[in-house]
């Protein structure tokens, strides 16, 4: 049971970091984020903070960020939001937004491992890569 729970937590962290990458870059580029969801299906918990609705849903194997204008046949864009929709941005900005999720997944291991190694108190005990001795009967000799 612990293994299943650990797997769900790990997947949840990966999904959250990935979707946060899309979310953060979209916000920095001035695109309105309508929905930030971890999981699919009906929401377990949802809250609206500012202009974005945040959700945690029942199926934990994915997530999504809904940006204004991302779905072409969705509701029309209000005059207040002109210039804040995804199609209004340049292709370079759209590429940045879409690439930010995988980029965050690539940065996550470094964000975890670097402090772990830097703050370890037993770094002196790490073995070096120098060979101590060779046996004459072995191929390395």
Catalytic residues: 19
Classify 82 as helix, strand or coil: coil
Strand ranges (E), 50-112: 52-67
Q: 80 near 51, Cβ under 8 Å?
A: no
**55: β partners:** 37, 46
CA atoms in the 13 A half-sphere facing the CB of 125: 3
């Amino acid at each position: 049971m612990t293994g299943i729970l650990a797997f769900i937590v790990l997947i949840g962290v990966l999904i959250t970091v990935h979707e946060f990458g899309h979310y953060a870059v979209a916000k920095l580029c001035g695109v309105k984020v309508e929905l930030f969801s971890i999981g699919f299906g009906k929401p377990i918990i949802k809250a609206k903070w500012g202009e974005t609705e945040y959700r945690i849903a029942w199926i934990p194997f994915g997530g999504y960020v809904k940006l204004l204008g991302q779905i072409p046949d969705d509701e029309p864009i209000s005059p207040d939001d002109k210039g804040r929709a995804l199609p209004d941005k340049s292709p370079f900005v759209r590429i940045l937004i879409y690439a930010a999720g995988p980029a965050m997944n690539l940065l996550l291991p470094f964000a975890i491992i670097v402090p772990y190694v830097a703050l370890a108190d037993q770094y002196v005990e790490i073995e070096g890569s120098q060979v101590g001795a060779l046996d004459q009967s072995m191929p390395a000799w």
